[in-house]
Amino acid sequence: MAFQTAVDIAKQVASGSLSATTVLEEHLSRITEREGEVHAFNLVTTESARATAQAIDESVAKGRPVGPLAGVPIALKDNMCTRGVPTTCSSKILEGWKPPYDATVVTRLAAAGAVFVGKTNLDEFAMGSSTENSAFGPTRNPLDTSRVPGGSSGGSAAAVAAGFSAASLGSDTGGSIRQPAALCGLVGVKPTYGVVSRQGLVAFASSLDQIGPFTHTVADAALLMEVIAGHDENDSTSLPQPAPSLTAVLDRGVKGMRIGRITDLPEGCEPEVLTRLDEAFETLRRAGATIVDITLPSLSYGLTAYYLVAPAEASSNLARYDGVRYGLRVDAPDLNAMYAATRSQGFGPEVKRRIMLGTYALSAGYFDAYYGKALKVRRLLADDFSRAYSSCDVILTPTSPTVAFKLGEKTNDPLTMYLCDVFTIPTNLVGHAAMSVPFGKGAHDLPVGVQVLAPALGEEQMFMVAAELERGR
């Protein structure tokens, strides 16, 4: 089923040919119809969304200016702070917590005229690849509800794929936007680290996390990026530069561009996924690009390094959930017992697993052997990418090695689950830009995503290639 794009909605609402209220009610009706089977949301903010839509319609009627996302229904991953609205990270330890402020991306979307329809489900504290680790139950893929939507931003992906919202925001620490985008047949963007503010994003791994959009089209993703990107003085890692201009480059084509093809790609892809990747290369070649063979010798080590770096940062970030300052508190005879009881009851199994792994990697006697070596691998990976980009402009890989898998298929084997992110993790480790673009179907007639990788601040060429793939699919 084809849904109206964010670009079209905003144009029609701003012109007065379509009311924001009408758009919202169409999306709310789809939520009413299918949310029970999909479970994309932890919270649907119906009344506040209606008030926002009505205010936009009044502004249009009075000739007042409205933003570039006027009337566009947008869902937010439930790890982004929203003032006075529960923000849980899908964890019992934060159930019911209401932040006293908005994340910067929320403020920017609101200023652009977006209508927030709810907070979406995720793997607890964004730790997972299937959205089965939520304390509030799994999200199902709207394309086949026996299958996962990917993770950790599975609720955000499902909301867009089901037509509950025209676009959504997710966070990407190791592929948590791109992998669910691929599994749900959407466009998903992980920007260069520092291009989009992390202020108000509940931290998982601070050197890896980035916020980005899920959309139906590349043009919608470009529009969302132009709204949410740009310097934020409240985020010390925010790059001191304006948002990239992306909508203007989508029609430039790829003639003369060099597209990198990795010859030592890790094994484990389904045959149909590799076939779609080959077809993507051919599409770009016909459009005037040159295909360049490259190697990334340390690519296969990225997964190992990530599962030391990310849990180490998580063990530090999640230490703040102690039952004292906010969130769940389990009474106990003394302070240490209260800490233990609160964290034992508040955190789920996957979060506990990663906290323990990270704490171990940072502990005396093991820091150099594990965490220190992981940082060296991270440096090697950055060097390999630097060499590769000296001979190509962007790189194409699969986004996910498989199409959407069955619910419960990988929950008992964490290592198999972690392998879902083998192609997405390296970009987070080096801080570069990447996005997933739907490109045909694979096994079981389910969507396949092709990943476009670009160097740091290479969003323009990345979107040019993505737009060409969209035209050629």
> CA-to-CA distance for 169 and 297, rounded, in angstroms?
33
Where exactly are the structural domains of the chain? Answer: 6-249
Q: Which two tokens stand for residue 205?
A: 């791994």
Q: What is the pTM of this model?
A: 0.97
Is 176 one of the annotated active-site residues of the chain?
yes
pLDDT, tens digit (0-9, with 9 covering 90-100), for 243-277? 999 999 999 999 999 999 999 999 899 999 999 99
User: Which residues sit opposite 435 in a β-bridge?
Assistant: 189, 452
Give the three-class secondary structure for 258. strand
**pLDDT of 415 strictly over 90:** no
Q: Mean of the pLDDT values across residues 402-420?
A: 92
User: Which residues sit opposite 85 in a β-bridge?
Assistant: 82
**pLDDT of 87 strictly over 70:** yes
pLDDT, tens digit (0-9, with 9 covering 90-100), for 130-176? 999 999 999 999 999 999 999 999 999 999 999 999 999 999 999 99
Q: Mean of the pLDDT values across residues 16-29?
A: 98
The percentage of the chain sitting over the pLDDT mark of 90, rounded to a whole number, equals 95
What are the backbone angles phi and psi of residue 256, rounded to the nearest 5°? 90, -10
Contacts of 259 (CB under 8 A, 6+ apart): 281, 284, 285, 289, 290, 291, 292, 392, 393, 394, 395, 396, 465
pLDDT, tens digit (0-9, with 9 covering 90-100), for 319-376? 999 999 888 999 999 999 999 999 999 999 999 999 999 999 999 989 999 999 999 9
Q: Mean of the pLDDT values across residues 100-109?
A: 98
Q: What pLDDT score does 170 carry?
A: 98
Q: What pLDDT score does 440 carry?
A: 98
> CA-to-CA distance for 369 and 55, rounded, in angstroms?
58
Contacts of 233 (CB under 8 A, 6+ apart): none
Q: What pLDDT score does 326 carry?
A: 85
Q: What pLDDT score does 413 carry?
A: 86
Q: Are strands 115-120 and 167-172 parallel, antiparallel or unpaired?
A: unpaired
> CA-to-CA distance for 34 and 91, rounded, in angstroms?
24
Split at pLDDT 50, 70, 90, the class of 120 is very high
Q: Please report, in angstroms and rounded to a whole number, the separation of the first and last CA atoms in the chain.
A: 17
Q: Which two tokens stand for residue 121?
A: 């489900």
Span 6-249: which CATH code? 3.90.1300.10
Q: What pLDDT score does 1 carry?
A: 67
Q: What pLDDT score does 96 carry?
A: 87
Alpha helices (H) in 335-447, listed in sequence order:
335-346, 349-362, 373-389, 414-418, 425-430
Q: Among the options 176, 197, 238, 315, which is catalytic?
A: 176
**pLDDT of 402 strictly over 90:** yes
Q: What pLDDT score does 16 carry?
A: 97
pLDDT, tens digit (0-9, with 9 covering 90-100), for 66-82? 999 999 999 999 999 99
Q: Among the options 91, 152, 315, 436, which is catalytic?
A: 152
* Mean pLDDT computed over every residue of the chain: 97
Q: Mean of the pLDDT values across residues 226-237?
A: 98
> CA-to-CA distance for 3 and 159, rounded, in angstroms?
12
Contact 129, 405 (CB under 8 A): no
Q: Mean of the pLDDT values across residues 118-136?
A: 98
Q: Which two tokens stand for residue 141?
A: 């893929």
Q: How far is CA 233 from CA 108, 156, 241, 280, 337, in A?
A: 14, 27, 11, 39, 39
Q: Mean of the pLDDT values across residues 98-109?
A: 98
Cis peptide before 152 (omega within 30 of 0): yes
**Complete DSSP assignment for 32-62:** HHHHHHH--EEEE-HHHHHHHHHHHHHHHHT
Query: Which of 118, 89, 343 is CA-nearest to residue 204?
Result: 89
